[in-house]
Amino acid sequence: MGAGTPIRDVDVRGTIRLGQFLKLSGLVEQGADAKDVVAAGEVTVNGRAETRRGRQLAPGDVVACGGERARVAAET
């Protein structure tokens, strides 16, 4: 997955944890899938591997998994 991979903005109200964002953004289909991919080290946040499913994300954070990327966007 290179820098040319498009980033999809996902509107989020308030704060969100990594596991929730993976499902909301469609990067995984089910919550159990989020647990598995995070534990396996297949998820990055801002280009760094992340193994904490409960990590709090902030607007602007970019999450990558399975060759796709999504950015946390503050809901307006």
Residue 25's domain is classified under what CATH number? 3.10.290.10
Backbone torsion region of residue 65, taken as left when φ is above 0, otherwise alpha when ψ lies between -120 and 50, otherwise beta: beta
**Assigned domain for 2 exists:** no
Domain enclosing residue 62, as ranges? 7-74
HSE value, Cβ hemisphere, 13 Å, CA-based, for 47: 3
Whose tokens are 């499902």? That residue is 23
> What are the tens digits of pLDDT across the range 36-73?
999 999 999 999 999 999 999 999 999 999 999 999 99
| Alpha helices by DSSP H, the chain | 18-24, 31-39
**Assigned domain for 1 exists:** no
Across 15-31, average pLDDT? 94
What local confidence, expressed as pLDDT, does residue 2 receive? 56
**Assigned domain for 37 exists:** yes
What local confidence, expressed as pLDDT, does residue 11 receive? 95
- E strands, the chain, where? 7-12, 16-17, 43-45, 48-49, 56-57, 62-65, 68-74
